[in-house]
């Protein structure tokens, strides 16, 4: 059943009911206080659905779990305000209320899950099985222990999860998709259209006179947001990077040579051998064959032919010792001289005779050739090991109000001075700002901080740290017209061209719908006509964008229309529409049915849960919710 639960989690209900408990268990993540997650009977309730409570601890743990997921995806920490802007609190409450509503309904209906079903579900869950696919009690208890759970609480929650899913499946399974809906989907997806069209290019708009000052100002006022300067910030960054701190020259000769001897295999290529193998039913047959080869009465190839072994079955390949799966065979093969035949070898898959036909000696680079690489590697490892000590020392200096510039000078560390940068890592001139380490992490932190704020250091991808102080903030603002006059003029001109092309397009559409031919209107504006065949919805073709094509599908056959196409404008006339006949129970129809059964199930289940919540009654204590999540919102 837990396998079924995992499959059910592919749709939204399964995700709702499994997100909090099961994800924690499978991941083995022990969150502080998680044992309280399942504890009922608390009077400190944030909400109730009917008589089913949602405790403050449930909300707190669900919120923290969801917050950690977002932070892992975004690879940065989220402030409470940012989390609320993302709607994490609302999503968590919606999820918990949905679960409580299903629990309330299963209670009202008297539904229960017998012990045997829960035990079978646990035994069938692959996360609790060993390599042989058998339930492993020790693995089960270890997983619970890592998650901070005990058996009683876990079984109780899984019983509730199974009951919720059974109720949901009873409500939404085996829904019938009406033939009318399937036919409508078939028509939508299989219809193909053809259209004749022409393109009105900017040259058709004619000469555009220079705008007056009033026209420029009016257009600028209406489109001011397009000329808004982003917020820029100035900052000082103290960068502690392991590569910069690594001192290869400080590595002694003795340490470098010891590392070389310990990892000598890394500095060359291992010996390889081309190995042939003949498999025998027993040791006696193998020994008889070996003696025949040894006294010259038979060749190795002749024996192989008698054993019906040839080609890829005879030659294992040219392999290193580590690449041979069977250790006994590997030891025997690499003890032979080139051309030598082994004694019978009892391998994992039978008794074999081995022959080595070629030996490619291994090579090892001399110490002098790789000395620099070794010193650099050792120095980098030591620098990384010293990172936390360096961090603590700098934090102590920061606590004493020592400026970053003084710390950098004293310790010989890199100090980056950023004069102005926007959230996209651009300077005011539009060029990328260099030297900002891990901008994906550092820039969001810079734009969350305040001047004079006490900021925690950032961990870099290389294993180092970045301390930062915001030294200046230039707030986002609208650029004055004089500063962006050229851009405003270009925008006004483009808008004027589009307006003229739109008017011309409407004029031509009226002529086409009035009986004029597409060739005649094309000749009028001095452009060529084109034909688009086999058009599909949402698919661009030739000079027509996807939006143009969708407008063609929205226009009756024989009628004309017009649509923007980049900086040009298309004028078209729909010439034909075709579609294959709808035939029930074909493979295509079955695919439509399958897809829409899931969509209908989601809709029906959503409506059912809403009705359950309405009938049971949902009460939320906003003050308790704020206390559980933390802060005001």
- Dmax over CA atoms of the chain, in Å, equals 110
What is residue 349's predicted lDDT score, i.e. its pLDDT?
66
Lowest mean pLDDT among 520-524, 552-556, 619-623: 619-623
The edge-to-edge listing of strands for the beta sheet with 618-620 is: 52-55, 45-49, 618-620
What is residue 12's predicted lDDT score, i.e. its pLDDT?
38
Contact 518, 196 (CB under 8 A): yes
Lowest mean pLDDT among 20-24, 193-197, 449-453, 501-505: 20-24
Q: Is a pLDDT exceeding 50 seen at residue 537?
A: yes
- 22: confidence class by pLDDT, cuts 50, 70, 90: very low
Which residues have CB under 8 Å from 367's CB, separation 6+?
256, 257, 260, 374
Tokens of 44: 């400190």
pLDDT in tens, 462-474: 778 899 999 999 9
Which residues have CB under 8 Å from 549's CB, separation 6+?
535, 536, 537, 538, 539, 540, 541
DSSP 8-class letter at 579: -
pLDDT in tens, 602-629: 888 888 888 888 888 888 888 888 888 8
- 548: confidence class by pLDDT, cuts 50, 70, 90: very high
d(Cα 101, Cα 312) in Å, to the nearest integer?
64
Highest mean pLDDT among 33-37, 247-251, 441-445, 571-575: 571-575
Q: What is the mean pLDDT of residues 285-312?
A: 86
Question: Could you give the percent of the chain with pLDDT greater than 70?
Answer: 90
- 229: confidence class by pLDDT, cuts 50, 70, 90: confident
Contact 425, 447 (CB under 8 A): no
Q: Is a pLDDT exceeding 70 seen at residue 633?
A: no
What is residue 145's predicted lDDT score, i.e. its pLDDT?
65
Q: Is a pLDDT exceeding 80 seen at residue 199?
A: yes
- The residue among 214, 169, 209, 243 whose CA lies nearest residue 481 is 214
Lowest mean pLDDT among 130-139, 319-328, 534-543: 130-139
**How far from 633 is each of 46, 79, 80, 84, 507, CA to CA, in Å?**
15, 13, 9, 7, 54
- 220: confidence class by pLDDT, cuts 50, 70, 90: very high
What is residue 86's predicted lDDT score, i.e. its pLDDT?
84
- The residue among 448, 423, 453, 439 whose CA lies nearest residue 80 is 448
Per-residue H/E/C for 518-539: HHHHHHHHCCCEEEEEEECCCC
Q: Is a pLDDT exceeding 60 seen at residue 632?
A: no
Q: Is a pLDDT exceeding 60 seen at residue 28?
A: no
What is residue 508's predicted lDDT score, i.e. its pLDDT?
96
Segment (H or E) for 57: helix 56-74
Q: Is a pLDDT exceeding 80 seen at residue 74?
A: no
End-to-end CA distance of the chain: 40
Q: Is a pLDDT exceeding 90 seen at residue 371?
A: no
Average pLDDT score over the chain: 84
Q: Is a pLDDT exceeding 80 seen at residue 79?
A: no
**How far from 535 is each of 12, 192, 561, 574, CA to CA, in Å?**
35, 5, 16, 11
d(Cα 41, Cα 55) in Å, to the nearest integer?
8
Question: Could you give the percent of the chain with pLDDT greater than 90?
Answer: 31
- 489: confidence class by pLDDT, cuts 50, 70, 90: very high
What's the predicted TM-score (pTM) here? 0.49
d(Cα 413, Cα 401) in Å, to the nearest integer?
18
Burial class, 571, CB count within 10 angstroms (exposed 0-12 / middle 13-18 / buried 19+)? buried
What is residue 551's predicted lDDT score, i.e. its pLDDT?
96
Q: What is the mean pLDDT of residues 123-135?
A: 81
């Amino acid at each position: 059943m837990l396998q079924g639960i995992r499959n059910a989690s592919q749709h939204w209900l399964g995700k709702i009911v499994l997100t909090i408990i099961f994800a924690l268990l499978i991941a083995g993540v022990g969150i502080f206080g998680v044992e309280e997650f399942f504890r009922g009977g608390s009077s400190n309730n944030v909400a109730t659905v009917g008589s089913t409570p949602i405790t403050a601890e449930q909300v707190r743990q669900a919120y923290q779990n969801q917050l950690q997921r977002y932070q892992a995806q975004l690879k940065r920490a989220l402030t409470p305000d940012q989390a609320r802007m993302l709607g994490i609190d609302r999503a968590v409450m919606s999820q918990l209320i949905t679960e409580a509503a299903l629990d309330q309904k299963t209670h009202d209906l008297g539904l229960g899950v017998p012990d045997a079903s829960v035990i079978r579900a646990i035994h069938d869950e692959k996360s609790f099985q060993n390599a042989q696919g058998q339930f492993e009690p020790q693995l089960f208890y270890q997983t619970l222990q890592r998650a901070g759970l005990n058996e009683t609480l876990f079984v109780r929650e899984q019983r509730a999860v199974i009951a919720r899913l059974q109720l949901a499946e009873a409500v939404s399974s085996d829904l019938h998709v009406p033939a009318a809906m399937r036919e409508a989907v078939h028509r939508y997806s299989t219809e193909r259209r053809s259209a004749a069209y022409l393109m009105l290019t900017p040259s058709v708009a004619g000469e555009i006179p220079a705008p007056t000052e009033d026209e420029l100002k009016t257009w600028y006022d209406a489109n001011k947001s397009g000329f808004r300067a982003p917020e820029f910030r100035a900052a000082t960054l103290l960068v502690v990077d392991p590569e910069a701190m690594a001192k290869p020259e400080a590595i002694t000769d003795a340490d470098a040579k010891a590392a070389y001897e310990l990892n000598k295999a890394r500095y060359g290529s291992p010996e390889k051998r081309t190995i042939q193998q003949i498999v025998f039913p027993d040791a006696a047959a193998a020994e008889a064959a070996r003696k025949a080869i040894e006294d010259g009465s038979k060749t190795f190839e002749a024996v192989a032919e008698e054993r019906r072994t040839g080609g890829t079955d005879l030659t294992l390949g040219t392999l290193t010792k580590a690449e041979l799966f069977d250790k006994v065979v590997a030891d025997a093969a690499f003890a032979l001289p080139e051309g030598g035949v082994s004694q019978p070898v009892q391998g994992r898959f039978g008794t074999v005779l081995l022959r080595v036909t070629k030996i490619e000696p291994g090579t090892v680079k001399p110490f002098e050739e790789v000395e620099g690489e070794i010193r650099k590697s050792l120095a980098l490892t030591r620098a990384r090991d010293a990172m936390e000590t360096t961090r603590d020392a700098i934090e102590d200096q920061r606590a004493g109000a020592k400026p970053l510039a003084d710390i950098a000078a004293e310790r010989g560390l890199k100090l980056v001075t950023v004069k102005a940068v926007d959230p996209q890592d651009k300077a005011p001139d539009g060029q990328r700002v260099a030297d900002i380490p891990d901008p994906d992490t550092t820039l969001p932190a810079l734009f969350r901080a305040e001047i004079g704020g006490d900021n925690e250091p950032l961990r870099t991808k290389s294993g180092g740290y970045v301390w930062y102080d915001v030294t200046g903030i230039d707030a986002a603002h609208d650029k004055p017209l004089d500063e962006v006059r050229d851009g405003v003029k270009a925008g006004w001109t483009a808008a004027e061209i589009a307006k003229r092309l739109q008017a011309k397009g409407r004029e031509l559409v009226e002529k086409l719908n009035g009986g004029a031919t597409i060739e005649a209107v094309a000749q009028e504006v001095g452009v060529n006509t084109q034909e688009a065949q086999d058009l599909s919805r949402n698919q661009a073709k030739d000079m027509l964008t996807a939006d143009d094509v969708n407008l063609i599908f929205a226009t009756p056959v024989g009628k004309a229309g017009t649509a923007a196409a980049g900086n040009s404008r298309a004028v078209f006339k729909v010439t034909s529409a075709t579609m294959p006949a709808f035939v029930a129970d074909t493979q295509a129809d079955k695919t439509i049915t399958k897809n829409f059964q899931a969509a209908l199930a989601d809709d029906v289940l959503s409506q059912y849960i809403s009705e359950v919540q309405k009938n049971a009654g949902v009460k939320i204590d906003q003050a308790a919710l704020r206390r559980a999540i933390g802060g005001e919102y």
